[in-house]
Structure 1
Amino acid sequence: MSPNGSQPLLGSSDKNSDINALEAVIRAFFSGRWMARPVKVISVTNAGGVSPIGYVSLLPLVQQIDGEGDVTPHATIYNAPYMRIQGGANAVILDPQAGDIGIAVFCDRDISAVKSSRSEAPPGSSRQNDPADAVYLGSIIAAAPAQYVRFNESGIELVSPTQVHIQAPAAVIDGNTTINGNLSVNGGTVKNDGVSIDKTHTHSGVASGSDTSGPPST
C-alpha cells in the first residue's frame, strides 16, 4: 500500500514469474488507453447564443496512479467538441457551463482533421484512444436545476425564474388555456370568435342611463 492509501497497480505476485510479469505489462498497456471518463468542464467557448456547436476544456477527475501507487493529477484537455441535440437547422441549445461534471468519450483515432474540416478526413496522426480526441457528452453529476423542462405523468412543465420568450410568425394553442396573472398585448388585435375585444372595439345598442349595451359589434 502506498503512503497515500491507494492500491499499487503492480503487486508482489506480478514479479513471481515471466507470465505474471507479461500480464502486468499487458494491463499497463491497456490502462493507458482512454475510453470514457468523468470530467469537469473548465471553460466553454459558447454561452447559450445561437451559434455553431462550440468546444470545452476538460479536467479528467480520475487521477493517474503509477505502479507504486503514487497519484498524479491530469492536465487539462483543450478544444474538445461537446454534444448538442441537433438535426439540420433544428436544435436544443443547452451549452455546458464551467464547473459541470459530465462524461467524456475518447475517439479511437485522431479526429483533429475532421474537427477542422467538418467533413471526411484522414486521421491527423497515428495516435489512438488519446485524451486529445475527447468528446464531451453531457452532465452526469449535478444539483437540482432552477430552470428546466420537466416531463412526467402529469404532463409537461416549463419553469423559468426570469422569462420565457417565444418568437414565431404565428402560434396556435389547442385546448383550454388558463392565465394566472396579467396579460399584456403590445400591438395587434385580440379577438374572440372573430370579434375584437381590445380597446378599439365598439358595442351595439348603446343607451344612456342604467341600460347596458349590446355585444361587441366589431
Structure 2
Amino acid sequence: MSQSVQAEPLQRISSAEGDANAQQFLFQSLMAGTATSALVQVKAVTGGGPGQPCTVDVQPMVHQVDGAGNTVPHGIIHSLPCARIQGGAAAVIVDPVVGDIGAAIFASRDISAVKASRVPSQPGSLRRFDMADGMYFGTLLGGEVTDYVRVQAGAVAIKTTAVTIEATSVAITSDTLTHNGKDIGATHKHGGVTPGGGETGVPV
C-alpha cells in the first residue's frame, strides 16, 4: 500500500514570531542541506580490476520532498571512490556494476585534494557535509547471486563457471582430495598396473 508524504515548509508564519522561532527556522534550514548517508544506485563504473579501485557515478534513491509534498529526484553524483577489502598490495576485488544498490557516505569536509594526491591535505574548499564528497561502500538490497565465494565456519564454497589460479607454487594439505567423486589425493590408486619397482608414467 502506498503512503503519501505530508511535508511542511521549513518557514511558517510562526517563524517570524520571536527569536526562538527564527533560530529554529535557521537551524532546520542548515540541517536540510547536510548530507550524511544515502541509499544510491550505481549508474556508471570507471576503472577497477587489479589496478586502483574503481569510481562510480550514483543517484540517491530517496527523492527530495518540497514543502507542498512534491517529490523531486536527485541528480547524478559523479566519481565517488569505491571501498574494497585491501591491505597493501593484497585485495579481494568485487567491482560494482551498473544497477547495484549500495550505501554512499558523505564526508564532513571537502576530500577532493586527498583524492587527487593520496596524501594528507588541507580541504579543497570550505564545503561541509556535501554530496560531492561521497564514498561508495558495497552493495545493499542485492538480489540472488549465481557466482559466489561463501565462507562459513568450517566450510568455504566457490561456485562459478571458470576458476583461474596464477601462483609460483600451490600447496594443498587435506585428508582427502577428490574430482567428480574420484580420489586424486595422496592416497589415490592407478588401475591396470603390474606391481613392481617401476613408476607409472606422467599424467596424460
Same fold (TM over 0.5): yes
Q: What is aligned with 1:96?
A: 96
Conservation of the 8 A alpha-carbon contact between 1:45 and 1:54: yes
Q: What is aligned with 1:150?
A: 150
Tell me, in whole angstroms, the C-alpha distance in 2 between the residues paired with 1:77 and 1:143: 24
Normalising by structure 1, report the TM-score. Answer: 0.77
Q: What is aligned with 2:164?
A: 165
Q: What is aligned with 1:23?
A: 24
Normalising by structure 2, report the TM-score. Answer: 0.82
Conservation of the 8 A alpha-carbon contact between 1:14 and 1:20: no
Q: What is aligned with 2:53?
A: 53
Q: Secondary structure at the match of 2:103?
A: strand
**Cα–Cα, structure 1 residues 166 and 14, in superposed 2: closer, same or farther, change >3 Å?**
farther
Tell me, in whole angstroms, the C-alpha distance in 1 between the residues paired with 2:119 and 2:92: 23
Conservation of the 8 A alpha-carbon contact between 1:14 and 1:21: no
Conservation of the 8 A alpha-carbon contact between 1:40 and 1:60: yes
Shift of 1:143: 0.5
71-80 vs 23-32, which moves further: 23-32
Q: Which segments of 5 or more consecutive residues in structure 2 lack a partner in the other structure? A: 200-204
Q: What is aligned with 2:202?
A: none
Conservation of the 8 A alpha-carbon contact between 1:59 and 1:75: yes
Conservation of the 8 A alpha-carbon contact between 1:112 and 1:133: yes
Tell which structure's C-alpha radius of gyration is larger: 1
**Cα–Cα, structure 1 residues 216 and 46, in superposed 2: closer, same or farther, change >3 Å?**
farther
Conservation of the 8 A alpha-carbon contact between 2:114 and 2:121: yes
Q: Are residues 1:37 and 2:38 paired?
A: yes
Q: Which segments of 5 or more consecutive residues in structure 1 lack a partner in the other structure? A: 184-189, 198-202, 204-211
Conservation of the 8 A alpha-carbon contact between 1:102 and 1:136: yes
**Cα–Cα, structure 1 residues 192 and 65, in superposed 2: closer, same or farther, change >3 Å?**
closer
Aligned residue pairs: how many?
A: 191
Q: Secondary structure at the match of 1:141?
A: coil
Q: Secondary structure at the match of 2:144?
A: coil
Tell me, in whole angstroms, the C-alpha distance in 2 between the residues paired with 1:27 and 1:55: 33
**Cα–Cα, structure 1 residues 65 and 168, in superposed 2: closer, same or farther, change >3 Å?**
same
**Cα–Cα, structure 1 residues 217 and 117, in superposed 2: closer, same or farther, change >3 Å?**
same
What amino acid is aligned across from residue 35 of structure 1 in structure 2? T
Shift of 1:94: 0.7
- Shift >4 Å, 4+ stretches: 11-14, 190-193
**Cα–Cα, structure 1 residues 114 and 191, in superposed 2: closer, same or farther, change >3 Å?**
same
Q: Secondary structure at the match of 1:114?
A: helix
